[in-house]
Structure 1
Amino acid sequence: MSLIRTDYFLSPYQTGKWVLEVSGAHFIINDDTKKLVDILSRAQNYEEATVQFNSDFENHDLNETEFTSFTEKVFEGIPIFNNSTIEVKESKSYIKFQKELLKPSTAGKIASLITFLFNKKLFWITFSLLVLLEIIIMVTTSLSSFTNLSPLWILAIYTSTMFLHELGHIAACRKFTGKNGEIGFGIYFIFPVLYSNISSVWHASKQERVITNLAGIYMQLLCMFILYGLYLLTHNASLLYLAYFIAFYCLLQVFPFIRSDGYWLLSDLTSTSNLLQKSETEVRSFISKPFGWLKEKKEKKVFLLGYGLFNYAILIYFITTQLIFNWKGVLYFPVYIFNTIKQVLTLQFDKMTFDNSLITVVIFYILLFNNISNITKNISASIDKKRDR
């Protein structure tokens, strides 16, 4: 019998690193830890494992007790052992009140109908052409004539395309890994959103992870293409506006400064997990000890510092300009949300309006909420550390 459980899954992540999946959680381990997993999986007892470990790692000469203690320390927090009592803590999601809408099996069956769209060559050619069309639509479309479009139309199209967005993520993940999670519903800030569980994509190659990150935008751009085609046939201005709305939303998704598709895309392109947290740590390290940071600077640290500083610069610039030049919209937004909810609850759909100028205000409140939340968590963490001393 193996010393460790047999239901784990290992796959290469990048040079010198591996993804270890245990109990649905994913851990990045190095080559040496992977070798240790292999030793433990083949050994029948710790005596046999100790001998093999000392043979494979020539600079070690541990006895059985020392080896047992060593392995327990290496896998502290990872439930790799048989009958492990370690509970894997789920990461706190930025999406609250999550509710499963489609089980993994159901989502997978539906997604299997469109997995052909994620053939790598087909994807890159089609995606490039769709991005070109997106740019054309955004540059050539004037919004001045779209003041009377019903919010119900926008909501209906938005909901439909967002479902296809999440289905795209599921389809790509399923194609490249053979596995997928659920599609669900939750609340982001104060807005209802859909989400998809594609944690299995950790086991895909970098290109496959990039395609999976772009899969949601890809599906929405296909919707944009269809709407724009219908506009060219019918000259219905509402169809053009909806195509523009989707194009604009896809553009926002690419920005890597909030946890959108662009954030996960940059994280995978740079092979950096927990990108926001690591960049914030690097910024704090630089501010507290700039000369010490410069002495030990590395290429990855420079990237994280640059990303963190640029992130803060964009944040400060955007919030400042909104407070100076759009303060009326900022103050009016809570009233607009209250009135809209009231109109929905009282079925007064004819009175509902969509104000284009509030799009930037929505982004303002999301960024503000995220940063207040992060500051609160950091203060809480600092207090907890002081209590533990």
Structure 2
Amino acid sequence: MELTEKDLLKIKDYEAHSLDVAEEGNNFVLSFANGVYLKVSDSTLKFVSRLDGTKPIDDIIEELKEEEGIYLRKEQVESFIYENLSKNCLLTNEEYNSKSGVIPDGSQLWFHFPLFRGERINVILKPVSVLFKKVAVISSILLFIVLQIYFVINGFYSDINFSNVLHMNTAGTLVIVFVSFILHEMGHAAAGVYYNIRIGNMGLGIYLFRPVFYTDLSEAWKLNRKKRMVTNFGGLYFQIVYAAILSVILLFTDAFILKISIILIVVSVLMNLDPILRLDGYWILSDLFGVVNVNDRAFDMLVKVIQKIFTKKDIDLGYGANIKKNVRMFVYIYSFIYVASTLIALFFGIFIVGKLLVNYPEITGLLGQIKECIGNKDILGFLSRMNNLLVLLLPLIYFIIMIIYNIHRIKNRNRFRDTNKNKAIVS
């Protein structure tokens, strides 16, 4: 029987690079021209290398078994082709490729719109990439810490209270903090420039129902773990540098708007260190221990361990078994921290809902004032009331985001594969 193009799959051109992770065996990252990156094991790479359009899948599976001692199930291979190659348009056989432009599983970046092209970013950030030299990093962070200690000792922040926050210059504060978000993404990109990797686009996206800036640093997977950690930390570092500059200005002006802005920037940095949501802290932790998709793996391993305890059966850890033993304990600890933090967030959310019910008259009053400001075209008044409303509702918004995130993760847990698509979008 004559073979047709449908029987002979051919993968598009790619580059293979060794991936620095704490997993058994050799692991690689495959980079494609369309910006997709695949994390694969040694056996998967050998299978992919045979997708040259000359042999059917059954023959490739048989070859790997006879020549390499690699045993692949037909359904396992078909799942890999569909989930990773077909969905990402990585086959030259166009009828097999998805046209939906799928966002990487688990990224939760549901919408993204590029604002700056990578080539332009590279030129702009080349001069400031020197800030990642060790002397510059230590000096900047020390300057910020010393100034904050000085401010606390001398009571610079003593006039910050709920009443002053409600009547602060909301518009000015928003502008100053907004600049820190832009600098955050520039920090990630500048770190990439410092390590001479290709910088992708920078733009706006929607992450868990909230707008975020993002930088496409997919090529960071080519770096070793230490350099990837620096790249992930780059955004927070630039925010700290920015806060240090504001602190120097505050030293001579004692401006209330700068005090609030510095505090909000610090809060933003601390929130980004959250290791549960896929923010900077998650990626830093992931690279520190060398575990790709640590969130998914930790959750799955925890479920399997619980099953083993209650069923008394020898449960296969699946892809979690590939993690080196000296790192596996970290994944278990992370799993329990994740569950504990989720439960705490749940009880905290219930408490917040109760508090909001008590403050219901105040909320309805603010909503009425906002409506009145819109009718009078009072922009500053509108921003001020919106600020007051956000002060009351922000904890509830964060709680709702956590609930949505966990529902999404549980829903997609079974879709995870050891050979997963890992497009690094840092926000």
Place the TM-score, normalised by the shorter chain, in its bin.
0.7 to 0.9
Contact 2:169 2:257 in 1 (8 A): no
**Structure 1 residue 9 and structure 2 residue 21: aligned?**
no
Q: How big is the shift at 1:223?
A: 1.1
Residue 361 (structure 1) aligned to one of 376, 390, 396:
396
Partner of 2:3: none
**Structure 1 residue 317 and structure 2 residue 331: aligned?**
no
Say how many residue pairs are matched: 365
Residue 103 (structure 2) aligned to one of 90, 113, 120:
90
**Structure 1 residue 374 and structure 2 residue 409: aligned?**
yes
**Structure 1 residue 184 and structure 2 residue 203: aligned?**
yes
Partner of 1:233: 252
- Amino acid of the structure 2 residue aligned with 1:97: F
Distance 2:204 2:38 in 1: 26
Residue 115 (structure 1) aligned to one of 122, 125, 129:
129
Q: Mind listing any 5+ residue stretches in structure 1 that lack a counterpart?
A: 382-389
In structure 2, do the counterparts of structure 1 residues 257 and 100 end up closer, same or farther at CA, with 3 Å as the change threshold? same
Residue 259 (structure 1) aligned to one of 258, 268, 278:
278
CA deviations over 1:111-165 (Å, ceiling 9, x no partner): 334222223x235424642663586389663432742212212221121111111
Contact 1:173 1:180 in 2 (8 A): yes
- Amino acid of the structure 2 residue aligned with 1:370: Y
Paired residue secondary structure (1:114): helix
Distance 1:378 1:372 in 2: 9
In structure 2, do the counterparts of structure 1 residues 102 and 157 end up closer, same or farther at CA, with 3 Å as the change threshold? same
Paired residue secondary structure (1:97): strand
Paired residue secondary structure (2:257): helix
Residue 275 (structure 1) aligned to one of 294, 304, 309:
294
Residue 303 (structure 2) aligned to one of 281, 284, 288:
284
Partner of 2:35: 24
Contact 2:352 2:396 in 1 (8 A): no
Contact 2:189 2:217 in 1 (8 A): yes
Q: In angstroms, what is the RMSD of aligned CA positions?
A: 4.2
Contact 1:285 1:293 in 2 (8 A): no
Contact 2:27 2:39 in 1 (8 A): yes
In structure 2, do the counterparts of structure 1 residues 186 and 300 end up closer, same or farther at CA, with 3 Å as the change threshold? same
- Amino acid of the structure 2 residue aligned with 1:125: I
In structure 2, do the counterparts of structure 1 residues 267 and 379 end up closer, same or farther at CA, with 3 Å as the change threshold? closer
Q: Which moved more, 1:307-316 or 1:25-34?
A: 25-34
Q: Which moved more, 1:247-256 or 1:301-310?
A: 301-310
Q: How big is the shift at 1:294?
A: 8.6
Partner of 2:379: 348
Q: Which moved more, 1:224-233 or 1:348-357?
A: 348-357
Contact 1:174 1:180 in 2 (8 A): yes
Distance 2:353 2:276 in 1: 21
Listed as ranges, the matches of 1:331-342 within 5 Å are none
Partner of 2:191: 172
Distance 1:166 1:101 in 2: 12
Listed as ranges, the matches of 1:298-313 within 5 Å are 298-313=325-340
Q: How big is the shift at 1:185?
A: 1.1
Q: How big is the shift at 1:366?
A: 1.9
Q: How big is the shift at 1:105?
A: 2.3
In structure 2, do the counterparts of structure 1 residues 167 and 379 end up closer, same or farther at CA, with 3 Å as the change threshold? closer
CA deviations over 1:180-222 (Å, ceiling 9, x no partner): 1111112334432211111111111211111110111111111
In structure 2, do the counterparts of structure 1 residues 379 and 115 end up closer, same or farther at CA, with 3 Å as the change threshold? closer
In structure 2, do the counterparts of structure 1 residues 195 and 323 end up closer, same or farther at CA, with 3 Å as the change threshold? same
Q: How big is the shift at 1:368?
A: 2.3
Partner of 2:240: 221
Contact 1:137 1:247 in 2 (8 A): no
Listed as ranges, the matches of 1:195-210 within 5 Å are 195-210=214-229
**Structure 1 residue 161 and structure 2 residue 180: aligned?**
yes
Contact 1:183 1:196 in 2 (8 A): yes
Distance 1:198 1:336 in 2: 45
In structure 2, do the counterparts of structure 1 residues 244 and 7 end up closer, same or farther at CA, with 3 Å as the change threshold? same
- Amino acid of the structure 1 residue aligned with 2:177: Y
Structure ranking higher on relative contact order (CA contacts 8 Å, 6+ apart): 2
Q: Mind listing any 5+ residue stretches in structure 2 that lack a counterpart?
A: 1-8, 416-427
In structure 2, do the counterparts of structure 1 residues 74 and 328 end up closer, same or farther at CA, with 3 Å as the change threshold? closer
Distance 2:412 2:392 in 1: 33
Contact 1:166 1:196 in 2 (8 A): yes
CA deviations over 1:316-356 (Å, ceiling 9, x no partner): 11331342366324886986996798657955322424344
Q: How big is the shift at 1:360?
A: 3.3
